[in-house]
A and B are shown apart, each in its own frame.
Chain A
């Protein structure tokens, strides 16, 4: 008997996944926020962190999105090479977004870039944004990461000269200073180094999904400490909690290139995953 996943159950699970991502933060993010609230000495910043923690409780209690900017819909799909399915995955994800938009509900955020006309259902050309990856497994992993515009707008990308690796840290710091309170700190900062123009941005975005409780390495720690010494603080009102974590991802690049992307994530580092397993 085949236990291939049905289109209907995939759509249901995807809409439920979005609900989870919009209402609850992953434990590692909540723990990082709690830790920041305990450590913060600036009273204004502390009041802001307390409001964030209270907001999370209310969102969970009432089952409503934690932020009114329910984001632009971004998905990461890891398709196992042995995983069997017989429907159009992209069309199914789009259908799930339409259902979730009325069901949860989500704010309709997708607009035509030039006419600014809102599609009304979070669907549009190229939206949801779906990242595909193939893995040697008999499963499919779907991650929903709805991304708010406040933090996305403050992100930055620069094509450096190959000899300028020493300027990367400063570029990240300047991006954070320019952003100030606008991207809703405390932030998760994703840095993508290498690849190509678009690959660097993708690396930076993927970096945001990494667990916040894993220890930071070399450049990550160096940038993290420098960012928190800036004193921007929660919501840009001052204090010691500007970033919860810095994550760096690298890829090989052209010998003549050094692309660096900084993707900024607000405190609401929303993401949730579900794994569909194939026949054993």
Chain B
């Protein structure tokens, strides 16, 4: 189990060296996106419309943060990961169209190892650890698509040493979640 400290934007070399089970900390910029933002990104892609943010070398965070508007702009109150499984179907087309290098979320994603191969990694952040995450988010740099509602908007966040993140699915096809799931299913069938 290795530990890496990465700076965004991520390069292909940054993620190629990561193995499932490694620990990663990320500094730089990350973008939140969940169900509705994924749907809109794909819609705009279909219409060949440009996005108001860049996804080249980007880190997508499956998160619907709790934000508070202050005199000086937005403040993060609580911002842990949401269930990545809901974005499983929308992720392969999104990765095809854009140069996203890492996805942070919780619970893993089924059927995306091929889409991630040689391209992108899935990083698991402890679900529910939203107060801890908020401490590591240093600035809200921008917000896009607030019309989708606070949780579904795209928040551009500056983070420092964001983690510990566990490499759940690496760019070589190894998926810890799938291995755990298969073992559990076998164990269950032994009961029957």
Contact = CB atoms under 8 A, between A and B. Distances in A.
A174 B79 CA distance: 30
B49 interface: no
Interface string A227-241: 001111101111000
Interface residues of B, number: 48
Contacts of B80: 55, 67-69
A55 B106 contact: no
A51 B132 contact: yes
Per DSSP, chain A at the interface is loop
Instruction: Please indicate which of the listed interface residues A116, A169, A177, A266 has the most CB atoms of chain B within 10 Å of its own CB.
Output: A177
A173 interface: yes
Contact of A107 (B107, B151, B176): B151
Interface stretch (B10-18, B89-97, B180-188): B180-188
Given A107-B150, A109-B151, A170-B192, A150 B126 contact: no
Contacts of A237: 124, 166, 168, 176-177, 180
Per DSSP, chain B at the interface is mixed
A127 interface: no
Interface residues of A, number: 55
A55 B187 contact: no
Contacts of A55: 80, 126, 128-132
Interface string A154-176: 00000000000000011001100
B107 A69 contact: no
B19 interface: no
A267 B128 contact: yes
B26 to A, nearest CB: 15
Contacts of B1: 43-44
6 contacts: A52-B129, A68-B66, A107-B66, A107-B151, A181-B124, A268-B128
Contacts of B127: 150, 181, 184, 235, 266-267
A279 B77 CA distance: 41
A30 interface: no
Given A177-B185, A180-B180, A231-B183, A69 B131 contact: no
Interface stretch (A12-20, A56-64, A129-137, A255-263): A56-64
A128 interface: no
B78 A70 contact: yes
A58 B134 CA distance: 10
Contacts of A26: none
B73 interface: no
Contact of A180 (B63, B64, B134, B181): B181
